[in-house]
Structures are given as C-alpha cells and as structure tokens.
Chain A
C-alpha cells in the first residue's frame, strides 16, 4: 500500500493492518507528515507540527507492538489535538496572540489518555481565537481552510481539527465544543464529530471558554473511529471537578446492533426552520435511510427549544467575560475584533440573567428527560442551517446559521454527533468571492452536509450505534476532498 493511501485509512482499518503486521506506526506517521507537508500550506490546519516527536513516538510504538502487540486500537495511530489542550513542552496558543508563547510542563487529561493508549501526536491544530467563534477565521494564525473549497470556512471553533481529519493529515483529532465547535466543523468538512455528555471526558488542561458549557470530544472519519477515540479518553478524572463518575461502557461493542427498534424523534419546531433547501433535503433523506434500516421515526415536540439559545448566550458570554476579564482589561488590543466584541457583550447581562439562565437549564434538562427522552431514544436534525459559508462572508453574519441547531444541546449536556449525510450540487452554484473566477478558485467540489443525532445523557453508545449503522448503509463519510 502506498503512503498516499495510508493517510486516508480509517483508524479501524489502520489498526487492523498494524495488528496484522502489514503496516507500521512509522509508515502511518510518515504518511500523515507527508500529507501535512503537501497540503497544510493551503489548509492552514496546524499551528504547530511536532514531526520529530511524532516519529520518535511512532518508532517507540513500533517497538512496543512488535514486542507485545498493540495495547489499544489507537496504538501507533497518528492523531492531533486542538491548540487549546495543554501539551508538555509544546506551546499552546489557544489561537491567540496573548498565549502565543505559552508552554506548560504537563499534558491535558485527554492528551495523557491518548498517550496512554499509544496514539502518536502529530501536533497542535488551528482554531477560532480562544475557541470563541464558529467560523475558524483567525486573525493571528490565519483561517483554517475547508478542504472541499479553500475559499470557504471549515467551521469552528475546532477548525484545524475539521480540516486536518478531512484532508487525511491525521486519523483523528480532539476538539472542544461549547456551542457546536466539534459538530459544526465536522459537518462543514464532511467528517464525523462527537460531543459527549457533559462530564464524560476530562477537561483538565484545556483552556476554558465557558465552564458550564465546554465539552471535549473526538473528530474522525467515521463513527467507529469516534468510538475508538472516545473509549480512550472517556471516564472519571479525579483531578477535574466537572468529570463525572459515570462508568464508560464499551463504545464499540454495540456498534453493529443495527437501527431496528431505535425510536428517532424529528423535531416539529425550530430546528428545521429556515434551512438551506439542500441541507433540508439531505437530512430528511438521511432520516428516511434510518427508517428503512428499521428505526421508528416520529415527530416530537421539544419543550423550551426556542428559549434555549438565549440561555446559552447569557451563560457563555458571561462566563467567557469572567475568564478573560483581566486580559481584556490589560491587553484589549491583542484580541481579534470579533472575539473582543463577543467578550464585551458579556457585560450586557446582569446577574439576574445569568442565574435565570442556569435555572432555565435545570428546567429544560428535567423537562426533556421526562417529556422527550421518554418518547424517543434519539433526535435527528441538521447540524447546521447552511453548508460552509465563504471566508469573506463575515463572522457575525455566518455565526447564527452555524450555531442555532447545535448550541441548545450544550445547555442540555446531552451527547450529540454530526455525520456526513450528503453534498450540495456544486459549490459554485453558491455565491463565492465575485472577483475570483472559477478557474482561479481552489476547486469546484460540492460541499458536505451534516446530520446531527442526539441521545439521552450518557448514552453515547446508542448514538454511535445509530451513526455507525447509517454509515454502513451510505458512503458519504468515505468521500474525500479533491485536493
């Protein structure tokens, strides 16, 4: 198998080839590094590439595996982490000028677990500044570019994670999700991204954006690969006060159980309103696929869904301002315009707004537990209202269309996944930069569309089972951008 093909394998397949002795961790790591070398000048997915350390780790993995076999399906697999995760002796910029030279001595909790599983860390991935935005357009490090059309955003904030996984620069990535920052880039880049239940994955050593909304999770090229990464990073961390004691089951064991018997709810209101027609068509077709696979699909009402974005806004902006308060006072000019503005907006809200928003969260959590998840096992919605907007279209304009369907689920803390479910006809059928002719543009590829599935608290296994079943019946997730 040639190196170019190796970089496009799934983790499940690459891991099997390692076990069978047909490829080595060094082969895979070289293939990833070659892909980064070839593409990242265009994609700008990485802020820091740790090539020497990655090759050293790959050689060590090779030795360990030849001696005693792989210790997990991630052993020897090249992955990368959003540059918001502390990484020992490697800078963690958070996509900011303020932390441009910030270096810690220890790894994040999730990073430690990746190491423990034997993963090879390739480097640190670009993101929206301080993870506070949905486009991934970063004024300090440049925008990560969508591999399907480099004039377009990847979505954010885990922008480099989306681009790098889609382009085959790494086999999986860690992202964070405060209002959709794993699922949005997964949707716009045509990969699979999972936001686990709040408390499922440790946040130790991850720079916060909003303490009560931040989640850590995997982004990969299939649901099965997300299950493999989640298995490695899930579970209680006594050093993280927000980490839950809920035991992590086997996420791969139930993957092949099919969709028969699953009750899937399609929201009657709000989350299907004002969609791009191609997005709505693709998502409804995906729901039909699940129905044909044996799921019982029914309409469902989602109490308080229209109020949820207000609560997310009041909580996220207030907590973000509290986190950034000192820097915003002392170094206001070191923030990009859009992030500076969002932080200022935190001052809009009073203590009453914040407390009622948290109180509203209690209300919606219990109402959904009793009234929604008593009727259905899963919810199905579009991940975003639109496909990838152009980089030039402006952050504030794009943000609402990207976050509307994802951010209520951060308030609820329920697990949610985005899986590729189709493509637009062609990207050029949509407005791009008018001054750029078709010939000068990066490509004429259609744009990915994402299906969002959500499950009740702690039930990532059912979520992954449904996503995997869908991916066994469709090939959207196997398509690669024409780079």
Chain B
C-alpha cells in the first residue's frame, strides 16, 4: 500500500507535491495550514513550523500505511480491555 500524501488536497501538501524546491510557496502553504488551525504564525515561528512539517509528516506516515480492517464493526476506543 503506498502512502497517499494529499487526502484533502491541502495547500501545503499540494505545494510539496508540485515543487519540492519552492521554499516561498512552502512557507505560504505552511502559514495557511497553521491559519486553518487558528494559529497566526509569522517570522521565526512560521519558519520553524514550516521546517518541522516534513519531519512530522514522515513520522506519522506509518499511520496511513497500516492496513486497517475497513469492515470491522463500529466501535470507539474502549480504553484498556477488562481484566480477564
């Protein structure tokens, strides 16, 4: 199963997909990504956030590659299972 990068076609993902060397575009896309979460970032904060994105997305890539069972019955996380 390959990693699907842009399930939401988000600006930042799209920018990365289109041009890996577009640092200004990455920065603007990162600003929009933060703004979508209600964070107004600029200057060093924005730069640090933008720099961290590839690393963080690499980290969670595995979560999207695990083959979950799509037919499992609906159930929320049950915390720990009860003592046997």
A binds B: yes
Q: Which of A17-25, A98-106, A309-317 contacts B (4 or more CB under 8 A)?
A: A309-317
* Residue A268 lies at the interface, judged by CB distance under 8 Å to chain B: no
**Chain B, Cβ-Cβ closest to A414:** B80
Dominant secondary structure at the A interface = helix
* Residue A360 lies at the interface, judged by CB distance under 8 Å to chain B: yes
In A150-206, the 8 Å CB interface with B consists of: 197-199
CA–CA, A296 and B22, complex, Å: 57
- CB-contact partner of B53 in A304, A348, A358, under 8 A: A348
* Given A352-B64, A360-B63, A457 and B49 contact (CB-CB distance below 8 Å): no
> A309 to chain B: which residues have CB within 8 Å?
59
> A304 to chain B: which residues have CB within 8 Å?
66
CA–CA, A340 and B40, complex, Å: 12
* Residue A224 lies at the interface, judged by CB distance under 8 Å to chain B: no
What's the minimum C-beta distance from B70 to chain A, rounded to whole angstroms?
A: 10
* Residue B82 lies at the interface, judged by CB distance under 8 Å to chain A: yes
One digit per residue, 1 when the CB lies within 8 angstroms of any chain A CB and 0 when it does not, for chain B 29-62 equals 0000110111111000100110011001101111
> A348 to chain B: which residues have CB within 8 Å?
33, 52-53, 56-57
What's the minimum C-beta distance from B62 to chain A, rounded to whole angstroms?
A: 4
Interface size on B, residues (CB 8 A): 34
CA–CA, A346 and B34, complex, Å: 9
A356/B37 in contact, CB under 8 A: no
One digit per residue, 1 when the CB lies within 8 angstroms of any chain B CB and 0 when it does not, for chain A 324-342 equals 0100110000000000110
* Residue B24 lies at the interface, judged by CB distance under 8 Å to chain A: no
* Residue A347 lies at the interface, judged by CB distance under 8 Å to chain B: yes
CA–CA, A362 and B75, complex, Å: 10
B63/A346 in contact, CB under 8 A: no
CA–CA, A372 and B7, complex, Å: 34
A346/B37 in contact, CB under 8 A: yes
What's the minimum C-beta distance from A340 to chain B, rounded to whole angstroms?
A: 8
B64/A353 in contact, CB under 8 A: yes
What's the minimum C-beta distance from B40 to chain A, rounded to whole angstroms?
A: 8
CA–CA, A306 and B7, complex, Å: 24
B60/A357 in contact, CB under 8 A: yes
* Residue A292 lies at the interface, judged by CB distance under 8 Å to chain B: no
Q: Which of A2-10, A60-68, A89-97, A363-371 contacts B (4 or more CB under 8 A)?
A: A363-371
* Residue A256 lies at the interface, judged by CB distance under 8 Å to chain B: no
> B77 to chain A: which residues have CB within 8 Å?
212, 358, 361-362
B57/A314 in contact, CB under 8 A: no
* Given A329-B38, A344-B39, A348-B52, A457 and B60 contact (CB-CB distance below 8 Å): no
What's the minimum C-beta distance from B63 to chain A, rounded to whole angstroms?
A: 4
What's the minimum C-beta distance from B54 to chain A, rounded to whole angstroms?
A: 10
A345/B52 in contact, CB under 8 A: yes
- CB-contact partner of B80 in A197, A328, A352, A360, under 8 A: A197
* Residue A242 lies at the interface, judged by CB distance under 8 Å to chain B: yes
**Chain B, Cβ-Cβ closest to A357:** B63
CA–CA, A369 and B81, complex, Å: 8
* Given A344-B39, A361-B77, A246 and B66 contact (CB-CB distance below 8 Å): no
CA–CA, A309 and B63, complex, Å: 10
CA–CA, A311 and B77, complex, Å: 14
CA–CA, A328 and B77, complex, Å: 29
**Chain A, Cβ-Cβ closest to B80:** A457
What's the minimum C-beta distance from A377 to chain B, rounded to whole angstroms?
A: 12
What's the minimum C-beta distance from A121 to chain B, rounded to whole angstroms?
A: 29
A199/B8 in contact, CB under 8 A: no
A362/B41 in contact, CB under 8 A: no
CA–CA, A481 and B38, complex, Å: 47
> A340 to chain B: which residues have CB within 8 Å?
45
* Residue A307 lies at the interface, judged by CB distance under 8 Å to chain B: yes
> A311 to chain B: which residues have CB within 8 Å?
60, 63
> B79 to chain A: which residues have CB within 8 Å?
198-199, 242, 244, 413
- CB-contact partner of A347 in B37, B59, B62, B64, under 8 A: B37
- CB-contact partner of B60 in A244, A310, A344, A458, under 8 A: A310
**Chain A, Cβ-Cβ closest to B83:** A458
What's the minimum C-beta distance from A217 to chain B, rounded to whole angstroms?
A: 15
CA–CA, A270 and B60, complex, Å: 17
B81/A347 in contact, CB under 8 A: no
> B56 to chain A: which residues have CB within 8 Å?
313, 345, 348-349
* Residue A429 lies at the interface, judged by CB distance under 8 Å to chain B: no
- CB-contact partner of A353 in B48, B49, B60, B82, under 8 A: B60
**Chain A, Cβ-Cβ closest to B68:** A359
Residue of A313, A328, A344, A362 with highest tally of chain B CB at under 10 A:
A344
A347/B68 in contact, CB under 8 A: no
CA–CA, A457 and B84, complex, Å: 9
* Residue A437 lies at the interface, judged by CB distance under 8 Å to chain B: no
Q: List 7 A–B pairs whose Cβ atoms lie within 8 Å, in order of A's numbering.
A: A197-B80, A246-B82, A329-B38, A344-B34, A344-B49, A348-B33, A369-B81
Known: A348-B57, A458-B83. 6 other contacts (CB 8 A): A246-B82, A304-B66, A309-B59, A353-B64, A359-B68, A414-B80
